[in-house]
Structures are given as C-alpha cells and as structure tokens.
Amino acid sequence: METYHGKSIFNGIAIGKICKYEKEQQQVKRIRISDPEAEINRFDHAREEAGAQLQSLYDKALTQVGESGAMIFEIHRMMLDDDDYLDSVYHIIRSQQVNAEFAVASTGDNFSRLFASMDDEYMQGRAADVKDISDRLIRILMGQTDKHDIMEPVIIMAEDLAPSETVQMDKDNLLAFVTTLGSSNSHTAILARTMGIPALVGIPVRDEWNGKTAIVDGHSGTLIIEPDDALLAGMQAKKEEELRQKQLLAELKGKETITKSGKKINLYANIGNVSDVGAALANDAGGIGLFRSEFLYLEAQDYPTEEEQFQAYKKAVETMDGRPVIIRTLDVGGDKEIPYLHMVKEDNPFMGFRAVRYCLANPDQYKVQLRALLRASAFGDVKIMIPLVTCVEEVLAVKELVEQCKAELTEEGRKFNENIEVGIMVETPAASLLADRLAEVADFFSIGTNDLIGSTMCADRGNDTISNLYQVYYPAVLRSLKNIIESGVKAGIMVGMCGEAAADPLLEPLLISWGLEEFSMSAPSILRARKTISQWTKAECDELAEKALACNTAAEVKALLESAAR
C-alpha cells in the first residue's frame, strides 16, 4: 500500500481501478512551403472546423454540467478569434514560410509559457486552455481524430487533462481525476467541481499504477495505491455514508434556510464569472454574495469598456431574476496581475497599491465600472461592494464617485437604481477595529475571512511552514468577527460573510449567535450549510459562542466546536 498527497480540487471519495490516459502524440514537423497565403487559407479552414467541434462540445457539456461548465467551450471558441493569437500564426507562416501546423505549435507554446509564468493563478490556468486550442487545430490540420472512450468505471490518471478531453469522457464511467499538472482555477478543475467528481492535482503519475486498485480521497487530498482490505472496507463505508448524506441534502432544495428557533438566514453564492450564475441557481442560492468582477479584466486584452461590463453585469442580474447580486469592484494587485494596467512591481504587493487604492488613484477608469454597475441596477437588485477598505475616507471617496456617475447618467437619460447600496468588504484588521465608524458610512458589510485571517494572524495562507496559524479558530480572529458583526447589527445594516469560513459547519453556530444575516459560499456548499443552520437554536448558538470566546487557543476552540458539531 502506498499513499501520495496532492491538492484536492473536489471533495469526495472514489474507489476503483486506475486508467492512465494516453494522449495521442503529435509530431509536428517544420516544413517549408512556397505559398503562404494558401497555407493561411488551410489554417482558416481548420479554425472553422475547430469552431464547429467546440459548438458540439458546448452542446454536450450543456446537458452534462449545465451552462456554467459549458461556457468553457464558448471561451475556447472566442480564443479562436483572438487577434494576438491569429496575428502570431499568420506572421510565422508568412515570415518563415512554414506549414500551419508548425506555426500553431510555436504560437501555442509561446502563449502557454507566457500564461504559465504569470504569478496570478487564474492566468496560469489559461495556459492549459491555449494548449488545448492549439492541439485541436493541429489535430485537424493533421487529419487526426479525438479518442476518449472509457469502457468501464475508472480513476483517470494523466499528466494533465484539457477541458475538451474531460467533457468527452463518459461521465458514468468517470470515478475521479488524478493529474500531475493543473490548478484549482483551471477549467478542467472547474468542470470536475461542476460534475461533482473527486479530483487531485500535483501527484506525479506513474505508468506502473495503470490497472491497479486505488482510493482517491478528496477530503484529505490523498491517493492510496493498492489499499489493504481493512482500509478499503472503511473507505467504502465512508463513501456510502457520503452518498446517503447527499441524498438527504437534496431534499432541502427549494426550502428556506431557517434556524431551529425560526430565524431566517440568507444563503448566497460566490461566483467568479457570469457563467457561474447557473451553478448558483442549481444549488438553490438566494442571491450572489460575491461577484468577483476582475474576471472581466483578466480575460481582456485591454481595459473592458463600459458597454462590455454593463452587458456582463446585466446578464448576471437578469439571470438571478430579482435576487440580490453583490458585485465587488475591481480587486486588482496582490496576486492578480493584469498586464495592460502596467502596475509597478512591489516587494509586498498584498499590502501595497491594489484594490480600492488603485481604483481611487485612477478615477476615470473606476467610473467606467461604476457607471456599468449603475446601469445594470436598472435590471435587478445590484449592490456595489468596495474591497480592501481600511479607513472611512475610502468609502466616502467611492460614494462621491458613485454620485458623480449618477449625475452623468441622469443627464444622459439612462436608468439606474437611485438607492443602490454601496457596501464594503471587511477584510483588514483596520476595518475590523473601525467597524463601528465604517457602519455609519457603508450600506452593508461582507466579511472576507480569507484575507482577514491572514492579516490578523500575519500568516500567508500559501506558506506551508506557518499554515497552522492560518485558522479561523484563533481567538483573535473570533473576536474580530464578533466585533464586525455586532457593529453592523447595532448600526442596522446587513452583515454578511463571503470568505471560505462562511461554509465552515463548525463556525456557523457562532456566526448565528453574533447576528450574521447572510452566508455566501461556493455553490455546492449551500445545501450542506442549510442543513447545519436548521439544527441550531439561537440560545444554543449563544451558549456555544460564549464557551468558544473563553478559550485561549485555536486547538481548544476547534475541539469545543467539533464536540458540539451536528
């Protein structure tokens, strides 16, 4: 028995035989050609065929994983028309007088390396998309076909998997993915989550594992090769219990989220893209608690126009059909680099010129987004959220820009919600300490626990050496959460949470005790949270919260919450 550790993309347990996925090797040769324009014409025909194939994949994905997963192939179709990509292929064919296969392979390699070298994990995930598109074009040019047949239930093992390879596999026979490459933001990872398939990345795969029985434990991020009988029986029982719990949770669909003592709680979804709205609705989200608007900027070659942003926000708002949609304004900097913004490299970017600081320093750019958000508010319940607030002045400055935009739109005769709410993401110790004052100028709070934990405990969540300090259970973090929530409640504004901690079943009773009204999380976590919340009365939550605040260490807090878990 051998055990290997990787990064979990989706929780769950899979037990079965490993099948090593072998990609068809593409031997691309450099061939001199005499007629570049004829070669370009051949490439354009291949592009048309690739577009038709991607349309078929989109249609198939739509039935298997819904619009959210299918949008990946729509994005791939758009990449076929990317000017930079096309210019590179055409230039190589004409200047070097070489075959289209070689020009596509060279362009794909160059663009892939460019994306992979970026610090931002989202952009790194796009490297696989460029390679997928390039490989598809090369297959068409070489007259090859896709082969993705899976004849029996297996755990697919590969160095990497492209989204098109993933969606073409028979879902009924797909138990799990295990790959060496990939990230939590790759489109294949997104598909795995949407399909509800356990997946691990970061495990160097071996040929000798092919055909062996294995366990993929998405909860602990482990791969177990040839488990012994006792472990196999234990994990099988755990898997069956998971299935039973999933069936029970499905019964909660369509019901309100109410505590045992009758208090209604709002359960919203965090999304990073317009295409994620479908998954939010499919999982019964009552609204969108965090719409990360930076996807519009990360996927663009230049600053997105007001009209482009307006159309994206409008689509999300109309799809949510009257449910609240909280849209965070551009959160750039830190680990999110956007090349065309030409931001200066900093030694400590997370505490530097980013988010609302960048936006307020570039008011004309910022107003483009604010105008788009205001225009979208005419079509539904849009709320504007400011990231990385540390002082009252920042909130007032943004509100002043919003008022300027309102005046401009009124003069132009455009419609918008005059009473649109402008709230803040509370994710810094400064905002926590100043919560009572900020509650006087902000229309709502949404707590971003991911950054709040890190900055409160001075612990980088990506640093394994100090990962023990990156926990929501530390007394300093709990006191901070209590202060933020109670300050907002006292001021009469809505207080929500959009950080990962909102989906923590151990923490949720404490948040109920302190008065949190809105929990926003990844869509698949919503029904589980509804179940947890329904099992607690306010009095029980208050009693547990009092005991938790009396603890001196994170270990004591966690042990207490685990002993009380339901």
Predicted pLDDT of residue 399: 98
Residues 451 and 539: their CA atoms lie apart, in Å, by 30
Residues 453 and 251: their CA atoms lie apart, in Å, by 34
Residue 432 tokens read as 């926590």
Q: What is the pLDDT along the chain (566 residues), one digit of tens a residue?
A: 899 998 888 778 999 999 888 766 667 889 999 999 999 999 999 999 999 888 888 887 777 666 666 777 777 888 888 888 999 999 999 999 999 999 999 999 998 888 777 666 666 767 878 888 898 899 899 887 655 557 688 998 988 887 667 767 777 788 998 988 876 656 567 667 767 788 898 898 888 998 899 999 988 889 999 999 999 999 999 888 888 877 777 788 889 999 999 999 999 999 887 878 888 888 899 999 999 998 788 777 788 999 999 999 999 999 999 999 999 999 987 656 677 777 777 777 778 888 999 999 999 999 999 999 999 999 999 999 999 999 999 999 999 999 999 999 999 999 999 999 999 999 999 999 999 999 999 999 999 998 999 999 998 876 768 878 989 999 999 999 999 999 999 999 999 999 889 999 999 999 999 999 999 998 888 998 999 999 999 999 999 999 999 999 999 999 999 999 98
Predicted pLDDT of residue 335: 58
Contacts of 64 by beta carbon, 8 Å cutoff, 6+ apart: 167, 171, 195
CB 235 within 8 A of CB 16: no
Predicted pLDDT of residue 39: 93
Instruction: Please list the residues that pair with 215 across neighbouring strands.
Output: 15, 224
Write a three-state SS string for 196-237.
Answer: CCCEEECCCCCHHHCCCEEEEECCCCEEEECCCHHHHHHHHH
Predicted pLDDT of residue 415: 97
Predicted pLDDT of residue 64: 65
Helices (H), 80-120: 83-96, 100-116
Instruction: Please list the residues that pair with 444 across neighbouring strands.
Output: 494
Predicted pLDDT of residue 421: 98
Tokens 């901070």 belong to residue: 480
Contacts of 310 by beta carbon, 8 Å cutoff, 6+ apart: 371, 372, 375, 376
Coil, helix or strand at residue 19: strand
Residues 218 and 233: their CA atoms lie apart, in Å, by 17
Q: What are residue 309's phi and psi, to 5 degrees?
A: -70, -45
Name the residue among 319, 316, 329 with its Cα closest to residue 357: 329
This prediction has a pTM of 0.68
Helices (H), 413-448: 429-433, 435-441
Q: Spell 470-485 as b/e; 16+ CB within 10 A means b.
A: bbbbbbebbebbbbbb
- CA Rg value for the chain: 25
Residues 533 and 147: their CA atoms lie apart, in Å, by 46
Q: Which residues have a catalytic role annotated?
A: 187, 498
CB 145 within 8 A of CB 170: no
CB 391 within 8 A of CB 434: yes
Instruction: Please list the residues that pair with 325 across neighbouring strands.
Output: 288, 382
